[in-house]
């Protein structure tokens, strides 16, 4: 029977200083986020080639706040990873990397804002999380969003959306 494999990676600032040095004259310094390539190499050696791989890290993998290391996502795609789950932006986000390349497409799912306080979420964004439903044959995956409309209310199921997995 085919199996699914997940790896968890840390997205980090490429500096040994933490916190980063303050910007001068009120100019905000943009520092590119990367993945630790040594950790990625070790995880890929352990995972080997898989029918469906799911990678998880904190910072966004697409959009304006994405990690800058596109070589890392290419390496993940080559090893059979088709889904990246991330947090950080506190809103629902669905993107695809290398969308037109069926063999290298990676679906990017922003996890939502499950534990984020109202001040940390974009305006009018309820608490939410994403549930992945993976078919036993690993050929289809659906994302179901669940939302908490009020601070003390239950999480309600939203629509299920299929992910456009590549052929790998």
Taking only the tens place, the pLDDT of each residue in 98-128 is 888 988 898 989 887 787 787 888 777 888 8
Would you place residue 67 in the very low, low, confident or very high pLDDT band (cuts 50, 70, 90)?
A: low
Domain definitions of the chain by residue range = 4-12+32-162
More confident residue, 89 or 16: 89
pLDDT of residue 10: 67
Task: Report pLDDT digits (tens) over 72-105.
Answer: 888 888 998 999 888 777 777 788 888 889 888 9
Between CA 55 and CA 83 the distance in angstroms is: 6
Look at 26-30, 36-40, 63-67 and tell me which has the smallest mean pLDDT.
26-30
Q: 4-12+32-162 adopts what CATH topology?
A: Purple Acid Phosphatase; chain A, domain 2 (3.60.21)
pLDDT-based confidence at residue 27 (cuts at 50, 70, 90) = very low
Mean pLDDT of 27-51: 72
- The per-residue pLDDT for range 132-147, each reduced to its tens digit, is 999 998 888 999 989 8
Q: What is the pTM of this model?
A: 0.77
* Euclidean distance between CA atoms 135 and 140, whole angstroms: 6
**What is the residue-averaged pLDDT of the chain?**
77
């Amino acid at each position: 029977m085919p199996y699914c494999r997940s790896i968890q990676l840390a997205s980090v600032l490429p500096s040994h200083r933490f916190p980063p040095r303050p910007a001068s004259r009120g100019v905000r310094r943009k520092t590119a986020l990367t993945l630790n390539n040594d950790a990625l190499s070790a995880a890929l050696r352990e995972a080997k080639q898989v029918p469906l791989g799911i990678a998880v890290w904190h910072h966004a993998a697409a959009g304006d706040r994405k990690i800058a290391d596109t070589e890392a996502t290419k390496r993940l795609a080559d090893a059979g990873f088709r889904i990246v789950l991330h947090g950080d932006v506190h809103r629902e986000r669905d993107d695809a990397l290398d969308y037109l390349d069926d063999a290298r497409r990676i679906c990017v799912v922003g996890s939502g804002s499950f534990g984020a306080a109202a001040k940390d979420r974009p305006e009018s964004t309820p608490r939410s999380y994403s549930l992945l439903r993976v078919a036993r044959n690993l050929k289809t995956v659906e994302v179901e969003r669940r939302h908490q409309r009020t601070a003390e209310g239950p999480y309600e199921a939203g629509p299920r959306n299929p992910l456009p997995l590549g052929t790998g």
